[in-house]
Amino acid sequence: MIVVTATLIFLLLIFAPIYLSADIRLYLKSLSASVGVKVGAVQVFCENISLVGDTLQCKGTVSTDVSLSSIDRQSGVDLLRCITVEKLVLSVCDNFYSFSAARLVSEEAILALATVTACNLFHCQIFCEHVGTYCDSCLRLRTLINLSVAELSFCLLKQGVRKWKTRKSEK
Protein backbone atom coordinates (compact mmCIF):
# COMPACT_ATOMS: atom_id res chain seq x y z
CA MET A 1 0.00 0.00 0.00
CA ILE A 2 2.89 2.36 0.75
CA VAL A 3 4.42 1.70 -2.67
CA VAL A 4 1.12 2.47 -4.43
CA THR A 5 0.69 5.69 -2.45
CA ALA A 6 4.25 6.78 -3.20
CA THR A 7 3.73 5.99 -6.90
CA LEU A 8 0.51 8.01 -7.01
CA ILE A 9 2.16 10.98 -5.30
CA PHE A 10 5.09 10.76 -7.74
CA LEU A 11 2.71 10.67 -10.75
CA LEU A 12 0.74 13.59 -9.34
CA LEU A 13 3.89 15.68 -9.02
CA ILE A 14 4.96 14.83 -12.57
CA PHE A 15 1.64 15.51 -14.30
CA ALA A 16 0.36 18.37 -12.12
CA PRO A 17 0.49 21.72 -13.90
CA ILE A 18 2.89 24.44 -12.76
CA TYR A 19 1.42 27.94 -13.06
CA LEU A 20 3.76 30.78 -14.01
CA SER A 21 2.82 34.44 -14.21
CA ALA A 22 4.94 36.57 -16.50
CA ASP A 23 5.07 40.37 -16.62
CA ILE A 24 6.72 41.80 -19.74
CA ARG A 25 7.17 45.53 -20.36
CA LEU A 26 8.34 46.70 -23.78
CA TYR A 27 9.78 50.21 -24.02
CA LEU A 28 9.73 51.03 -27.73
CA LYS A 29 11.47 54.40 -27.44
CA SER A 30 14.61 52.97 -25.82
CA LEU A 31 14.39 49.49 -27.48
CA SER A 32 14.42 47.69 -24.15
CA ALA A 33 12.28 45.25 -22.21
CA SER A 34 11.76 44.20 -18.62
CA VAL A 35 10.74 40.59 -17.94
CA GLY A 36 9.65 39.10 -14.62
CA VAL A 37 8.39 35.55 -13.98
CA LYS A 38 6.79 34.34 -10.76
CA VAL A 39 5.66 30.95 -9.49
CA GLY A 40 2.93 31.84 -7.04
CA ALA A 41 4.38 34.73 -5.04
CA VAL A 42 8.04 33.74 -5.53
CA GLN A 43 9.93 35.60 -8.25
CA VAL A 44 12.10 33.13 -10.16
CA PHE A 45 13.28 35.32 -13.05
CA CYS A 46 13.84 39.07 -13.41
CA GLU A 47 15.65 40.45 -16.43
CA ASN A 48 16.23 43.81 -18.12
CA ILE A 49 17.02 43.41 -21.81
CA SER A 50 18.19 46.19 -24.12
CA LEU A 51 19.10 46.15 -27.80
CA VAL A 52 22.47 47.74 -28.55
CA GLY A 53 23.48 47.41 -32.18
CA ASP A 54 23.41 43.70 -33.03
CA THR A 55 23.51 42.42 -29.44
CA LEU A 56 20.99 41.96 -26.66
CA GLN A 57 22.38 43.09 -23.31
CA CYS A 58 20.75 41.15 -20.46
CA LYS A 59 21.06 42.33 -16.87
CA GLY A 60 19.35 40.64 -13.95
CA THR A 61 19.02 36.94 -13.17
CA VAL A 62 21.13 36.04 -16.21
CA SER A 63 23.70 38.75 -17.00
CA THR A 64 25.07 38.20 -20.49
CA ASP A 65 25.34 39.62 -24.00
CA VAL A 66 23.73 37.68 -26.86
CA SER A 67 24.41 38.32 -30.53
CA LEU A 68 21.25 38.29 -32.65
CA SER A 69 23.03 36.41 -35.43
CA SER A 70 23.98 33.53 -33.07
CA ILE A 71 20.40 32.78 -31.95
CA ASP A 72 19.08 29.43 -33.22
CA ARG A 73 15.47 30.11 -34.17
CA GLN A 74 14.48 26.41 -34.24
CA SER A 75 15.79 25.45 -30.78
CA GLY A 76 12.84 26.70 -28.71
CA VAL A 77 9.96 25.57 -30.93
CA ASP A 78 9.36 22.33 -29.02
CA LEU A 79 9.43 24.14 -25.68
CA LEU A 80 6.73 26.55 -26.83
CA ARG A 81 4.46 23.63 -27.66
CA CYS A 82 4.42 22.39 -24.05
CA ILE A 83 3.32 25.81 -22.70
CA THR A 84 -0.39 26.58 -22.35
CA VAL A 85 -1.43 30.22 -22.06
CA GLU A 86 -4.40 30.55 -19.71
CA LYS A 87 -4.81 34.33 -19.55
CA LEU A 88 -3.32 37.26 -21.46
CA VAL A 89 -3.64 40.94 -20.53
CA LEU A 90 -2.23 43.57 -22.88
CA SER A 91 -1.91 47.11 -21.51
CA VAL A 92 -0.93 50.12 -23.58
CA CYS A 93 0.59 52.54 -21.08
CA ASP A 94 0.71 56.08 -22.48
CA ASN A 95 2.45 59.00 -20.85
CA PHE A 96 -0.03 61.71 -19.81
CA TYR A 97 2.25 64.41 -21.17
CA SER A 98 2.20 63.05 -24.74
CA PHE A 99 -1.50 62.20 -24.73
CA SER A 100 -3.72 63.16 -27.68
CA ALA A 101 -7.31 62.28 -28.55
CA ALA A 102 -6.48 61.03 -32.05
CA ARG A 103 -3.81 58.71 -30.69
CA LEU A 104 -6.20 57.40 -28.03
CA VAL A 105 -8.92 56.59 -30.58
CA SER A 106 -6.48 54.89 -32.98
CA GLU A 107 -4.94 52.80 -30.17
CA GLU A 108 -8.39 51.75 -28.94
CA ALA A 109 -9.37 50.68 -32.48
CA ILE A 110 -6.17 48.69 -32.91
CA LEU A 111 -6.63 47.03 -29.50
CA ALA A 112 -10.23 46.10 -30.35
CA LEU A 113 -9.20 44.52 -33.66
CA ALA A 114 -6.28 42.69 -32.05
CA THR A 115 -8.50 41.35 -29.27
CA VAL A 116 -11.15 40.07 -31.70
CA THR A 117 -8.51 38.43 -33.91
CA ALA A 118 -6.69 36.84 -30.97
CA CYS A 119 -9.94 35.55 -29.43
CA ASN A 120 -10.82 33.88 -32.72
CA LEU A 121 -7.39 32.23 -33.01
CA PHE A 122 -6.59 31.17 -29.45
CA HIS A 123 -8.56 29.51 -26.68
CA CYS A 124 -7.65 31.63 -23.66
CA GLN A 125 -8.85 34.69 -21.79
CA ILE A 126 -7.62 37.83 -23.54
CA PHE A 127 -7.99 41.36 -22.18
CA CYS A 128 -6.77 44.67 -23.56
CA GLU A 129 -6.71 47.99 -21.75
CA HIS A 130 -5.47 51.51 -22.22
CA VAL A 131 -3.73 53.02 -19.18
CA GLY A 132 -2.38 56.49 -18.53
CA THR A 133 0.94 56.80 -16.71
CA TYR A 134 3.45 59.42 -15.65
CA CYS A 135 6.40 57.15 -16.52
CA ASP A 136 7.72 56.27 -19.97
CA SER A 137 5.20 54.95 -22.48
CA CYS A 138 5.33 51.18 -22.83
CA LEU A 139 3.45 48.04 -23.80
CA ARG A 140 2.81 45.74 -20.84
CA LEU A 141 1.92 42.10 -21.31
CA ARG A 142 0.84 40.00 -18.31
CA THR A 143 0.25 36.30 -18.84
CA LEU A 144 -0.72 33.27 -16.81
CA ILE A 145 0.99 30.17 -18.22
CA ASN A 146 0.84 26.54 -17.18
CA LEU A 147 3.07 23.61 -18.04
CA SER A 148 3.59 20.15 -16.65
CA VAL A 149 6.90 18.65 -15.61
CA ALA A 150 6.31 15.58 -17.79
CA GLU A 151 5.74 17.60 -20.98
CA LEU A 152 8.70 19.85 -20.25
CA SER A 153 10.97 16.88 -19.53
CA PHE A 154 9.88 15.11 -22.72
CA CYS A 155 10.51 18.24 -24.82
CA LEU A 156 13.96 18.79 -23.30
CA LEU A 157 14.82 15.10 -23.79
CA LYS A 158 13.69 15.23 -27.44
CA GLN A 159 15.70 18.40 -28.03
CA GLY A 160 18.79 16.85 -26.41
CA VAL A 161 18.52 13.70 -28.54
CA ARG A 162 18.17 15.85 -31.68
CA LYS A 163 21.31 17.84 -30.80
CA TRP A 164 23.19 14.64 -29.96
CA LYS A 165 22.30 13.15 -33.36
CA THR A 166 23.45 16.28 -35.20
CA ARG A 167 26.77 16.30 -33.29
CA LYS A 168 27.23 12.57 -33.95
CA SER A 169 26.55 13.02 -37.69
CA GLU A 170 29.07 15.91 -37.88
CA LYS A 171 31.88 13.61 -36.66
User: How high is the pLDDT of residue 159?
Assistant: 79
pLDDT at position 72 over 80: no
| Cross-strand partners of 141 | 24, 90
Give the model's pLDDT for residue 74: 65
Kindly report the CA angle at 122 between 133 and 112, in degrees rounded to 5? 40
Check residue 76 and give its pLDDT.
60
Residues 105-164 have pLDDT tens digits of: 888 888 888 888 877 777 778 888 888 888 888 888 899 988 888 888 888 888 788 778
Angle ∠(131,143,119) on CA atoms, nearest 5: 85
What mean pLDDT, rounded, does the chain reach? 83
**Which has more pLDDT, 139 or 73?**
139
The mean pLDDT of 53-74, rounded to a whole number, is 81
| Cα 43 from Cα 81, distance rounded (Å) | 23
Residue 165 has pLDDT above 70, yes or no: yes
How far CA 78 is from CA of 46, 58, 127, 134, 162, in Å, comes to: 23, 24, 27, 40, 11
The span from the CA of 26 to the CA of 33, in Å, is 4
